[in-house]
Amino acid sequence: MERFKIFIKGRVQGVGFRPTVYRYANQFNLSGFVCNTQKGVLIEIEGIEENLKNFIEKIKKYPPPRADIKEIKIIPVKIKGEKNFKIIKSKKDLKVEVEISPDIAVCKDCLKELFAKKDRRYLFPFINCTNCGPRFTIIKNVPYDRKNTTMNEFSMCEICQEEYENPLSRRFHAQPNCCFVCGPVLKLLDNKGNFICEGIEAIKKTSKLLKNGKIVAIKGIGGYHLACDAFNKKVIRILRERKKRYEKPFALMAKDLETIKKYCYVSKSEEKILESWEAPIVLLKKKGEIFPEEVAPGNNYLGFFLPYAPLHHLIFHFEKNLNVLIMTSGNFSEDPIIYQDNSALKLLKNISDFFLTHNRKIYINCDDSVLRIFNKKIYFIRRSRGFVPSPIIIPYNSKKIIFAVGADLKNTFAFTKENKVFLSQHIGDIGTFLSYQAYKNSVNLFKNILEIEPEIVICDMHPDYFSSKISKELFPDLEKISVQHHHAHIASCMADNFSKNQKVIGVAFDGTGYGIDRNIWGGEFLICDYESFERRAHLKYFPLQGGEISIKEVWRIGAVYLYMVFGDTFLNLNIDFVKKIEIRKWEIIKKMVDKKINSPLNSSMGRLFDAVSSILNIREKISYEGQSAIELEMKIKNSKLPPYKYEIKKEKNLYIIDPEMILFEIVEDLKRKLNVGEISYRFHITVVDIIKNVCKILREENKINKVALSGGVFQNIFLLEKVVEILKKEKFEVLIHKQVPPNDGGISLGQAAIGVFKS
């Protein structure tokens, strides 16, 4: 006989850990107890050696599906001679440090019951268990107990209560546990809020409405989706018109994996992540033009995800001919997803024909995550539902509790606690009333569930950033440290890779970031660590005439670039782009550029992509961020042609990359009627070539071999692939993002990591 004390750390609470331990202990005839502690789970276990060994093996090999064991410590202790095994309550005053679980897609066991005619939860749209169901979006406070979730409004019926209390049940301490008798109820409403029907009838009717070309707002896990049939061109057009989202791709929910495979190429790793419990939207290469162009105009990829709420499965179940739905966030442009019932009815009534809603409250909004697979690994576009609030582990302990405010676009914020950085869900573009509300609500929730009060605020240097202003309002008395945007990008990539505080060559390519010289940066090579950075190379400045308006009307950028290269004579160039320019408009732009009025200097790589996209006549204006670069990438046609020429000039300690020759040669290619796809290819490999050559110069000078790639431009998968390939060939060690997006959604991680060293 022996007895062990076993400490287990990681995501081990709220995932059915104790009942699993209980079952295993019984299986191997062991006695003792299991309980939650401040740091994780504590087991005391007693029995014969062989059984103890098997028990420990089993926990290691088969922990509950959602658990994530990070550490197991085993200490032999004195035998107590107990008879049986117990789950004991944690001490009342015990301050429990728990990792709150993200929301989890409905599990296989629950799905089986959902469609088993004899099960008491047959077709129950809120079925869940310890292994699945909503978590992050229903929790109001810690500890994660029913009374601290939005399920507190429902009291369990006798049978549910029994399941909840029975350690052998899959629903032991499943906080959202409920059934037809005691749980929430679905309702179908028209867009004036009038009741139509409820329960299963409401789902059946919804499926019919969708099949018949209607738009239905469906309340899901983290907010309302706007849904319609993905094969119905007419309704998609109406949806685009009403939502004022004219071209940005819509996400598609397919009823199963087989359906997705009909329309897209799906690799093994893509299959795995599509079917994972995180259930993100995965960007997949499409097989052909099967869907109406309106789904994702000008894009070779489709964003697919699988049903993750039981309700989604039921909607497909009731209408056999409904295979793929457009499921887009219920919101306006880049606002956060709408999740409260009253605001949904108010704000979405002009978009949606019907509402499928219910009375289980969503406490916090959480958009779907979006990612792609790159080199068999996850590469985020947006990290949100399914991943939040799991922390990112960094190699240093934060002495103070840091609040990192994030960027203004694609905002996420972050809190630090020891060596963990807790990134918020996707908040969206900050600046509107709704995003402001969402930001504040989320900050409060994170403070509650992490049980922390921030001690220092890290924000962007930009004097006009909304996020910085909000943080001043939220924490007026705290010390604030500002961090340069591109330094934060690179620090984010370093932290994402668990990098130590050693200097790297940081390539930060994006659209906009405030520079220390007060110009707009975005084509930057930094030598940096977490503590400091040095700007060592950048794309040559050009005047971004009009600022914001040029970012939307990208032809203005193209025109100014050509003007810089050819002078006034560019208007005589025999290319389509020039022929379309309205001379009157151009004259005004030219005057402003010449007089340096409202023409901030800009070194952004994103803007160079805009310029090229417009000169190639691909985009004149854009209707969503990044559109011109995305469509330029989509046009790529592989070619044997070499990169374009460009110049790298040394000015003191700084290298200036002058793209003048690139534009000159692009015009030459256009004149000789070279295919736009091949020009796009040449442009892309030119950017690759620039990165390679500048990195080589910087390696030579600084004896640094590590390159970190970050910034929104690295969402361009062609570019990323080629850059990684060529840098590896040149024997560089290359860091790319793994757990947070390369775009501004990852900025808060970088700010937090820098904050650890600056506070």
Interface contacts to Zn ion, rule CB under 5 A: 107, 110, 129, 131-132, 157, 160, 179, 181-182
Closest approach, Cβ 40 to Zn ion, in A, equals: 23
Closest approach, Cβ 722 to Fe ion, in A, equals: 21
Element (H, E) at 224: strand 224-229
83: which 2 tokens? 């008879």
Closest approach, Cβ 682 to Zn ion, in A, equals: 52
- 75 makes contact, choosing from Zn ion, Fe ion, none, with CB < 5 to 8 Å by partner type, with none
- 629 makes contact, choosing from Fe ion, Zn ion, none, with CB < 5 to 8 Å by partner type, with none
Element (H, E) at 26: helix 17-27
Element (H, E) at 392: strand 392-398
**555-566 and 660-671 helices, crossing angle to 10°:** 100
Segment contacting Fe ion by CB under 5 A, of 124-132, 463-471, 679-687, 738-746 = 738-746
- 604 makes contact, choosing from Fe ion, Zn ion, none, with CB < 5 to 8 Å by partner type, with none
Closer CB to Zn ion, residue 62 or residue 195?
A: 62
Segment contacting Fe ion by CB under 5 A, of 10-18, 166-174, 257-265, 737-745 = 737-745
H and E: helices and strands count for the chain: 23, 30
Distance CA 666, CA 654 (A): 27
Taking the CA atoms of 675, 681, 687 and 691 in sequence, report the sign of the dihedral they define.
negative
- Spatial contact of 610 and 552, defined as CB atoms under 8 Å apart: no
Please give the residues from 588 up to 647 whose contact with Fe ion meets the rule CB under 5 A: none
Closer CB to Zn ion, residue 110 or residue 421?
A: 110
Count Cβ neighbours within 10 Å for each residue of 233-272 and write b for 16 or more, e otherwise: eebbebbbeebebebbbbbbbbbeeebbbebbebeeebee
Closer CB to Zn ion, residue 77 or residue 181?
A: 181
Closest approach, Cβ 488 to Fe ion, in A, equals: 8
- 744 makes contact, choosing from Fe ion, Zn ion, none, with CB < 5 to 8 Å by partner type, with Fe ion
CA atoms within a 13 Å half-sphere pointing along the CA-CB vector of 189: 22
| DSSP strand pairing (402-404 vs 456-460) | parallel
Closer CB to Zn ion, residue 277 or residue 718?
A: 277
Segment contacting Fe ion by CB under 5 A, of 242-250, 646-654, 695-703, 743-751 = 743-751
- Spatial contact of 537 and 657, defined as CB atoms under 8 Å apart: yes
- Spatial contact of 116 and 33, defined as CB atoms under 8 Å apart: no
Distance CA 330, CA 220 (A): 10
- 510 makes contact, choosing from Zn ion, Fe ion, none, with CB < 5 to 8 Å by partner type, with Fe ion
- 160 makes contact, choosing from Fe ion, Zn ion, none, with CB < 5 to 8 Å by partner type, with Zn ion
Angstrom distances, CA of residue 410 to CA of 23, 107, 226, 510, 745: 44, 30, 20, 13, 5
Closer CB to Fe ion, residue 188 or residue 491?
A: 491
- Spatial contact of 137 and 337, defined as CB atoms under 8 Å apart: no
Closer CB to Fe ion, residue 308 or residue 521?
A: 521
Q: Is 367 in the site for Fe ion (CB under 5 A)?
A: no
Closest approach, Cβ 710 to Fe ion, in A, equals: 8
Closer CB to Zn ion, residue 10 or residue 183?
A: 183
Closest approach, Cβ 310 to Zn ion, in A, equals: 9
The residue of the chain with the least Cβ separation from Fe ion equals 510
Binding residues with Fe ion: total (CB under 5 A) = 2
Closer CB to Zn ion, residue 107 or residue 709?
A: 107
CA end-to-end span of the chain: 52
Closest approach, Cβ 169 to Zn ion, in A, equals: 12
- 131 makes contact, choosing from Zn ion, Fe ion, none, with CB < 5 to 8 Å by partner type, with Zn ion
Closer CB to Fe ion, residue 121 or residue 535?
A: 535
Among 312, 744, 753, 755, binds Fe ion (CB under 5 A): 744
Closest approach, Cβ 300 to Fe ion, in A, equals: 24
Closest approach, Cβ 211 to Fe ion, in A, equals: 42
Provide the 3-class DSSP secondary structure of residue 713.
Answer: helix
CA atoms within a 13 Å half-sphere pointing along the CA-CB vector of 55: 30
- Which residues touch 757 (CB under 8 Å, ≥6 apart)? 396, 501, 530, 531
- 98 makes contact, choosing from Zn ion, Fe ion, none, with CB < 5 to 8 Å by partner type, with none
Closer CB to Fe ion, residue 341 or residue 510?
A: 510
Segment contacting Fe ion by CB under 5 A, of 73-81, 135-143, 436-444, 505-513 = 505-513
Q: Is 524 in the site for Fe ion (CB under 5 A)?
A: no
Closer CB to Fe ion, residue 403 or residue 714?
A: 714
Among 99, 510, 524, 633, binds Fe ion (CB under 5 A): 510
Closest approach, Cβ 90 to Zn ion, in A, equals: 24
- 182 makes contact, choosing from Zn ion, Fe ion, none, with CB < 5 to 8 Å by partner type, with Zn ion
- 107 makes contact, choosing from Zn ion, Fe ion, none, with CB < 5 to 8 Å by partner type, with Zn ion
Q: Phi and psi at residue 48, in whole multiples of 5°?
A: -80, 150
Distance CA 176, CA 84 (A): 29
Closest approach, Cβ 168 to Zn ion, in A, equals: 16
654: which 2 tokens? 């700084």
Closer CB to Fe ion, residue 10 or residue 741?
A: 741
Angstrom distances, CA of residue 756 to CA of 259, 493, 531: 47, 15, 9
Closest approach, Cβ 606 to Fe ion, in A, equals: 9
Closest approach, Cβ 62 to Zn ion, in A, equals: 17
- 450 makes contact, choosing from Fe ion, Zn ion, none, with CB < 5 to 8 Å by partner type, with none
Identify the DSSP state of 529.
-
Closer CB to Fe ion, residue 137 or residue 482?
A: 482
- 641 makes contact, choosing from Fe ion, Zn ion, none, with CB < 5 to 8 Å by partner type, with none
Q: Phi and psi at residue 77, in whole multiples of 5°?
A: -130, 175
- 414 makes contact, choosing from Fe ion, Zn ion, none, with CB < 5 to 8 Å by partner type, with none
- 707 makes contact, choosing from Fe ion, Zn ion, none, with CB < 5 to 8 Å by partner type, with none
Q: Is 408 in the site for Fe ion (CB under 5 A)?
A: no
CA angle 554–556–562, rounded 5-degree value? 110
Closest approach, Cβ 524 to Fe ion, in A, equals: 10
Closest approach, Cβ 318 to Zn ion, in A, equals: 21
DSSP 575-589: SHHHHHS-HHHHHHH
485: which 2 tokens? 């945007």
Segment contacting Fe ion by CB under 5 A, of 62-70, 208-216, 594-602, 742-750 = 742-750
- 429 makes contact, choosing from Fe ion, Zn ion, none, with CB < 5 to 8 Å by partner type, with none
754: which 2 tokens? 């820098």
Q: How many CB atoms lie within 10 A of CB 200?
A: 16
Segment contacting Fe ion by CB under 5 A, of 44-52, 157-165, 309-317, 739-747 = 739-747
Place of tokens 């469609």: 115
Provide the 3-class DSSP secondary structure of residue 404.
Answer: strand
Closer CB to Fe ion, residue 40 or residue 506?
A: 506
Q: How many CB atoms lie within 10 A of CB 654?
A: 13
- 296 makes contact, choosing from Fe ion, Zn ion, none, with CB < 5 to 8 Å by partner type, with none
Q: How many CB atoms lie within 10 A of CB 54?
A: 15
For the chain, the farthest-separated pair of C-alpha atoms sits apart, in whole angstroms, at 96
Distance CA 279, CA 275 (A): 6
Q: Can you give the length of the chain in residues?
A: 759
- Which residues touch 442 (CB under 8 Å, ≥6 apart)? 364, 365, 413, 424, 425, 427
- Which residues bind to Fe ion, rule: CB under 5 A? 510, 744
